[in-house]
Amino acid sequence: MSTATFQLQALGRMTPLIQRARDRSARLGRPVLASLTAHLGPAPDYDPSSVIAQPDAFIWEQPQRGFALAAAGHATRLVAAGESRFADIRAQLTHLLDEAATLQDSGAALRPAPLSFAGFAFDPAHPDDVAWFGFPEALAIVPRLLVARSGAHLFFTANLMVDAATDPATALEDLRADAERLLAPASPEAATRTSRLLDPGLEARASWDDSVTGLTSRIAAGDAEKVVLARRVQVESDGPVDVRNVLQRLRERYRECTVFALRAGEDACFLGATPEMLVALSGREVRADCLAGSAARGATDAEDAAIGAALLADDKERREHAIVARSLHESLSSLCHDIREPEMPGLRRFANVQHLHTPLEATTDGRRHVLELVQRLHPSAATAGLPREASLSLIRDHEPFSRGWYAGPIGWIDAEGGGEFAVALRSALVRDDVASLYAGCGIVPGSDPGREYAESQLKLQAMLWALDANPEPAS
């Protein structure tokens, strides 16, 4: 595939779409979306991480599945806040698409287009801090340009907000110029930089121990069944963090995870490689993951199997997992029927950690939007605790920082309301030369501060490795 061929055969068909959108805009008195999706053919070497330096860049990649989305720019940005943020984004997006002028090639039926992407803060009731400037409580973006890769094939979408004054020729030239940047070969990698983990200090460790002890006391008193407590650490680089290199390292080592990134402004990017799918909806078919209970990987196959067997038999980890699985089942039951899950958890293994895992499948009770499911499931018992409101209140009391988008839902939505959302775990907020990393642990009766701290260190290793940072100081 060449960019020139793409321009002639694909983008040229935007002209009648823009005209249709202009006419519709004149009748409605407001801008209208024009959207074209085309099948570009085989391009197995396309690197989605190459777009990350562009404005409003979004990357979603599942290397093991051979599926990736890479977007740049925006046709429109939708924002919302507060408890109604999921419903508000859904309503705005539905209204926009109902009025849109769209064309999708018969060979571009990967999913109903156009696709949008969205991310949400973990807890809008916990006041934000300056670290998360540029990441609102709820954000959905219809990208200006998007490339989807499925296997070896690429699909391209161009989106444009059109009003009665839009000139089709000028708009088309601007789109072609942007498409050349999106589809251009990746620039050479930047020089290797040195990174180091900043020592959180003894006070941070003491505060963690006190919080775990305090939470176990509150749980024993019946205030909650489980609470997820998070830590934040920081990595400093000797120059701006090479985000593209971090994404490539995550992709290579965590192929079974979902690698994601969203750029906000020139110097901020939220990225990670999460093992946990919150929910996926295709038609009426639903998939969700219960991932709770953690252990390290072994140095040999025999050691790895022994650690996995011990995890499966561990009473504390099994109780924590059962809480999450029960909560997930109950949340899905309000919107779905025919919920299917194995009787016992299995193991899901990643490069540096293994988890107890229960996959769930279900069928919705009618036509549903993926954000309805996201709203019902977030925050899950795996990221907040149980009961939900009680655990959130305790988190606000014990965490001295805002989680921002950490542990919030991030994903994409198709034109019919299907899509996939992951839990933004194993993640970092990068701002220029500093990266803030987050990891959480489920606190239940019997939780030990030292053991939970060690588990959080284990979870931080994915991003520490990707950032090429020194190991955390021993404690």
The catalytic residues are 226, 276
| CB-CB contact of 185 with 155 (8 Å) | no
Q: How far apart are CA 53 and CA 180, in angstroms?
A: 14
| CB-CB contact of 40 with 10 (8 Å) | yes
Give the N- to C-terminal CA distance of the chain in Å, as an integer: 54
Q: Nearest to residue 15, comparing CAs of 36, 40, 37?
A: 36
The b-or-e profile of 276-300 (16+ CB within 10 A means b, else e) is bbbbbbeeeebebbbbbbbbbeeee
Residues 6+ apart with CB under 8 A from 57: 51, 70, 71, 72, 261, 262, 263, 269
> Is the CA virtual torsion 361, 255, 291, 467 positive or negative?
negative
Q: How far apart are CA 325 and CA 342, in angstroms?
A: 11
Residues 6+ apart with CB under 8 A from 116: 93, 140, 141, 142, 143, 412, 413
Both tokens of 290, joined, read 């219960």
Instruction: Say what angle helices 243-253 and 449-466 make with each other, to 10 degrees.
Output: 110
Instruction: Say what angle helices 449-466 and 201-220 make with each other, to 10 degrees.
Output: 130
- Report strand pairing: 101-104 vs 32-42: parallel
Measure the CA dihedral 459/464/466/468, to 10°.
-160
